[in-house]
Amino acid sequence: MSTTRSRWAALGAAVAITIGAGGAGLVGATKSSGERASYEAVTACRLLDTRPGQSVGGRTTPLGAGETMTVDALPDGGNCSGLPDGTAVALNVTAVGATEITHLTIWDTGSVPTASSLNPAPGQPPTPNGVTTRVDSNGSFKIFNLQGEVHLVVDLVGVFSDHDHGESKFLTFQPTTLPLFDGATVASGPIDRTGVVLDDGLTPGFDVSFTLPTDYTANSSMFLELLWHIDETACAVEWKSEYGHMYRHSDDPASAGFAMVETDPVPATAGQAVRTRFQIQPNGGLAPGDAVALGLSRNAPAAGDTCTGDVIVTGISVSYS
């Protein structure tokens, strides 16, 4: 049995167990109302930095236990200016110096959702995660900390603007907690270097698995989105879908279409966030409670991959309707 096949078999067995009981590797899901959004990448800018001596976003103290704070984002939050109008934002959120094991929840308005966006713990290096959240009518969002104290660094990397294509919801994953293969590693250090590192070697990658939520519309397609960056310019990264399998209640696994549908070009500024989007097309029909297992890698040996440096993946999300 090949390495990829044996890895899929092991992951598939684990995912099958999760059907009806939650998602393997799932960090959290937040429901957004309204219309499906188009995405515009922007030059990364800092909305919030609570660390002493930084004072971005008007706060220089950590977020306390049970505390909620509001962060102004659009159009001129923190050090950002001239951002486009939008209804949701793509963020890199970093937790620094947590005093207790906790979770952070990021959302737009109303009561605190039960899902977590980040799961920091004492002794961890600065821990970033890509987070997508809607903003309220003032262009702001909220951050809740469950327990202990923790400093926050929040960078904005993209803005979503609504178009009338039906409702879209999101599942958000913490890349550094996912199963890795073929030389992919987790790097920690400076904030912009922490994430899943896919080097210019063979086909380093990661596995993603989850259970379809109760608000998933049966038989509809989904989209997996990556936020990543590379310390190069004027080059290209080629992505490879290793497999896509669906697990139904009391049924055999079914394959699914899993392919890239769009990607931003590597920007002229090294280290700027890039978005790549893949479509997950169910085969034979899916319903809430069914499970999905996917494998995705960087196809570094391919002629189309012209970048020679490391790709750092900082955000992974799945949108569905």
DSSP string, 200-213: SSS--EEEEEEEPP
Kindly give the confidence (pLDDT) of every residue in the chain, 321 residues in length, as a single tens digit, with 9 standing for 90 and above: 445 445 544 554 444 443 333 333 333 333 444 444 567 778 789 999 999 988 899 999 999 999 999 999 999 999 998 888 888 898 889 899 999 999 999 999 988 988 788 889 998 887 677 888 889 999 999 999 999 999 999 999 888 876 443 456 778 787 878 899 999 998 765 555 568 999 998 899 999 988 888 888 888 878 888 888 887 777 889 999 888 877 776 566 666 678 888 777 776 667 777 888 888 877 667 788 888 888 999 999 999 999 998 998 888 888 887
Last residue of a domain, one of 132, 162, 192: 162
Residues 285 and 178 placed together within one structural domain of the fold? yes
Residues 57 and 194 placed together within one structural domain of the fold? no
Sheet with strand 127-134: strands edge to edge: 37-49, 151-162, 88-96, 127-134
C-alpha to C-alpha distance for 286 and 221, rounded to whole angstroms:
9
Tell me the pTM: 0.62
Residues 83 and 207 placed together within one structural domain of the fold? no
Residues 271 and 237 placed together within one structural domain of the fold? yes
Residues 171 and 315 placed together within one structural domain of the fold? yes
CATH number at residue 310: 2.60.120.260
Last residue of a domain, one of 123, 140, 162: 162
Sheet with strand 205-211: strands edge to edge: 180-181, 205-211, 291-298, 239-247, 254-255
User: Strand pairing of 311-320 and 169-173?
Assistant: antiparallel
Number of domains the chain contains = 2
Kindly state the tokens that stand for 216: 């998933």
DSSP state of 36: P
The structure tokens 């809607």 sit at 134
Residues 122 and 184 placed together within one structural domain of the fold? no
* Residues 27 and 177 sit within 8 Å (Cβ to Cβ): yes
Angle at CA 89, nearest 5°, toward 295 and 72?
A: 145
Last residue of a domain, one of 162, 187, 208: 162
Residue 246: C-alpha distances to residues 10, 198, 240 (Å): 14, 26, 18
C-alpha to C-alpha distance for 224 and 109, rounded to whole angstroms:
25
- How many other CB atoms are found less than 10 A from the CB of residue 42? 18
Residues 10 and 46 placed together within one structural domain of the fold? no
User: Domain of 293?
Assistant: 3-27+167-320
Report CA torsion sign: 152, 158, 161, 164: negative
> What's the pLDDT score for residue 37?
52
CATH number at residue 100: 2.60.120
Residues 90 and 172 placed together within one structural domain of the fold? no
Residues 282 and 237 placed together within one structural domain of the fold? yes
Half-sphere exposure of 107 (CA within 13 A, CB side): 22
> What's the pLDDT score for residue 35?
45
* Adjacent-strand bridge partners of 309: none
Residues 188 and 316 placed together within one structural domain of the fold? yes
> What's the pLDDT score for residue 314?
82
* Adjacent-strand bridge partners of 263: 276
Residues 171 and 250 placed together within one structural domain of the fold? yes
Residues 313 and 172 placed together within one structural domain of the fold? yes
